Each structure stands twice: as structure tokens, then as C-alpha cells.
Chain A
Amino acid sequence: NAGVTQTPKFRVLKTGQSMTLLCAQDMNHEYMYWYRQDPGMGLRLIHYSVGEGTTAKGEVPDGYNVSRLKKQNFLLGLESAAPSQTSVYFCASSYTWDRGYGYTFGSGTRLTVV
């Protein structure tokens, strides 16, 4: 029972490079989310998905793109990395709200853009 798996765990990028963060969940959750966590800022929602093939913008979507081609996977892309995107990225998934469960988070990806 893996839960939510994020890859990679660490990455250093140069400004302008691109990368994709992968999130996979094995709980058959409908909803998936990408958050970033910065010191003093807390967790901020980047993008989310309420089902396969659907995505929506969160609080801080600029500079990121996402795709959810399969229910179990949610990809976060950085097309042209900037130092302001240095952060810890968390993926989470959940059932629909009426089930009364919270989010299950992955262990995070620590990204540094130099």
C-alpha cells in the first residue's frame, strides 16, 4: 500500500531548464492536487484535478502546467524554471468530499533552481 508517491525527491535545475514532477496514487482517489510549501508562506495550491482528463488552476498557477491523463497520475511541469520556483512541492490526493476523508500527501520534492 504505497499511498502517494512523488518522483524525484530532490532536483537542482538551472534557470530556464524544464522538468516534470510525477505524482502517482494507488488509492483510486478522484481528486489530486499540487501544492508548494515555502518558509513563512505555508502550503499554497498550484493546480488541482477533480477527475481524469480535468485540471484547474489554484492560487499560484503561473509558470506551471499539469496533466492528468490517467486517474492515478498527476504531472506537474515547469517549462522554464525560475529561482522563484525554488520550493518543496507536495502532491496530494483525496476522495470526494462527501466521504469525509482528508488528503493523503506524498513525501515531497525539494527543487532548487539556480
Chain B
Amino acid sequence: DSGVTQTPKHLITATGQRVTLRCSPRSGDLSVYWYQQSLDQGLQFLIQYYNGEERAKGNILERFSAQQFPDLHSELNLSSLELGDSALYFCASSPYRTATAEAFFGQGTRLTVV
């Protein structure tokens, strides 16, 4: 167990809908990273927050947004969902500010868009 908690574990929703994925980082970690893993695109870095502020942005669509709250948990919001958004979404956390620091991954949320 990495100490990073993601909820829900599975989510099935229809195209056009909006969902929120939640991540609780390890105790004391200030950075939260979001990743998307799909069969055709592999693992892709989406966005990083450090102590409440957006720190780095990767290949994140405009329909997606994230935030980190004062208690350091983070939410990834996905809207106007398309079939191609079906993927495993990982959250990771670390105590460091950089994007490639040693990060600990949660077990992921499997999103299925039908």
C-alpha cells in the first residue's frame, strides 16, 4: 500500500457527462500528480499541483481540470466525456516540488465511458 488513496476505484458513465475523481496523498506530501493510462496512448502525465498551486502541466485536455485543496487532497474533473476518455487515471504524491521526483502512485480509478 503506497499510502495514496483514490476514489472511486471504478466509474462507468455516459458520453457528455461530467465526473470527479478524488485523490488523498500520503501524509505530509505536498505534491499531487495526475496521469492517464490508456491502451493506445500509454501513460501520460496530465498535471501537477504543489501545495495548492498548479506546478506543471502536461497533455491535459481543456475539458479536464484539477485542483488541490488546503488539506492537500486533489480532485480531477473530467467534463463532456467522450468514449476516448475511457482509461485508468492515476494519482501520485511526493514531498517534492519537481515533476520527476520519486512519487508514490495510488491504485487508480478505472473510468469507462459508454
Q: Tell whether A pairs with B.
A: no
